[in-house]
């Protein structure tokens, strides 16, 4: 049965970020993820995890100026040094928090550079990050983002991620398969899972349209969760959705599935 992790960047936003850990535990979660930890002290975050009996599943590598519109810099030819410095910072946090995987975001195209230049930098940066993570026993996951929500994003299709994994050629590199982004870009959810499950290191979910909780849109999640189980996926499924109308009521669909 599925194991679900609460994404604290999306859920329980009715309270401050540091208060969300307790609410996640009260709701029955034993695992959490979120976008970024970097504005908080790593030891304070670890304390919140420990006191609430929570496991940190994942967070993103530093992705540039998020508030300013950046959505990753791994494919940015003009920001290689910044990206690589971010890898070191992320590893430091991961070791304190106990996270076993970090997510890489390619970001948007940079004017003045070709797709070939973006791709070459992305491969080099992903390989660099994977090697640095491997030194500490960590895994790298790579996520494609739909270009409707974020115009200009460089990695928008899952086939790009699987190609990137092959080119990097290291055993600790996997895909982060976000069901919402995949549905918007290409569909073929079950076929992709069946073909590439060995390369998928993390799964996230939201329904479409609206990016709300499962059961609010067009995706057949009961079928999909059963298929994920049948394929032998043993990791967590991150709930990275916009709760409607609020977090607590948005969790009702989980009663049909396992405990967390």
Looking at residue 259, its pLDDT comes to 45
Of 143, 167, 218, 227, the catalytic one is 143
Domain of 198 in residue numbering reads as 3-256
- Torsion angle, CA of 35/37/40/42, rounded to 10 degrees? 160
Over the stretch 177-191, which tens digit does the pLDDT of each residue have? 999 999 999 999 999
pLDDT, averaged across the chain = 97
Total domains in the fold of the chain: 1
Over the stretch 15-32, which tens digit does the pLDDT of each residue have? 999 999 999 999 999 999
The yes-or-no verdict on residue 139 having pLDDT over 80 is: yes
Over the stretch 155-172, which tens digit does the pLDDT of each residue have? 999 999 999 999 999 999
Is 218 a known active-site residue?
no
Q: Is the peptide bond before 215 cis (omega within 30 degrees of 0)?
A: no
The yes-or-no verdict on residue 258 having pLDDT over 70 is: no
Is 81 a known active-site residue?
no
Of 39, 135, 218, 240, the catalytic one is 240
Over the stretch 121-136, which tens digit does the pLDDT of each residue have? 999 999 999 999 999 9
Nearest to 18 by CA among 29, 206, 2, 39: 39
The CATH number that applies at residue 250 is 3.20.20.150
Note whether 49 and 22 are within 8 A (CB): no
End-to-end CA, the chain:
9
Over the stretch 203-218, which tens digit does the pLDDT of each residue have? 999 999 999 999 999 9
The yes-or-no verdict on residue 260 having pLDDT over 70 is: no
Q: Where are the alpha helices (DSSP H) in the chain?
A: 20-26, 42-51, 80-97, 115-134, 158-168, 179-185, 189-196, 221-230, 247-250
The yes-or-no verdict on residue 78 having pLDDT over 90 is: yes
Give the C-alpha separation, 165 to 183, whole Å: 21
What pTM value is reported for the model?
0.96
Looking at residue 135, its pLDDT comes to 98
């Amino acid at each position: 049965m599925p194991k679900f992790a609460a994404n604290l960047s999306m859920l329980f936003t009715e309270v401050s970020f540091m208060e969300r850990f307790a609410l996640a535990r009260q709701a029955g979660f034993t695992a959490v993820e979120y976008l970024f930890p970097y504005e908080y002290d790593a030891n304070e975050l670890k304390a919140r995890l420990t006191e609430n009996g929570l496991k940190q599943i994942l967070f993103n590598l530093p992705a540039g100026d998020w508030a300013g519109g950046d959505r990753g810099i791994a494919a940015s030819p003009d920001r290689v040094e910044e990206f690589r410095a971010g890898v070191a910072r992320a590893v430091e946090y991961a070791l304190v928090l106990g996270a076993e995987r970090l997510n890489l975001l390619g970001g948007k195209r940079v004017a003045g550079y070709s797709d070939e230049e973006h791709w070459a930098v992305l491969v080099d940066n992903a390989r660099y990050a994977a090697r640095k993570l491997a030194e500490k026993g960590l895994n790298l996951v790579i996520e494609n983002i739909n270009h409707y929500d974020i115009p200009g994003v460089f990695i928008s299709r899952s086939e790009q991620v699987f190609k990137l994994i092959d080119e990097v050629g290291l055993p600790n590199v996997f895909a982060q398969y976000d069901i919402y982004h995949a549905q918007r870009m290409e569909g073929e959810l079950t076929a992709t899972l069946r073909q590439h499950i060995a390369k998928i290191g993390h799964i996230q979910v939201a329904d479409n349209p609206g990016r709300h909780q499962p059961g609010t849109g067009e995706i057949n999640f009961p079928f999909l969760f059963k298929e994920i189980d049948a394929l032998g996926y043993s990791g967590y499924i991150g709930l990275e959705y916009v709760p409607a109308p609020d977090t607590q009521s948005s969790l009702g669909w989980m009663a049909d599935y396992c405990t967390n």
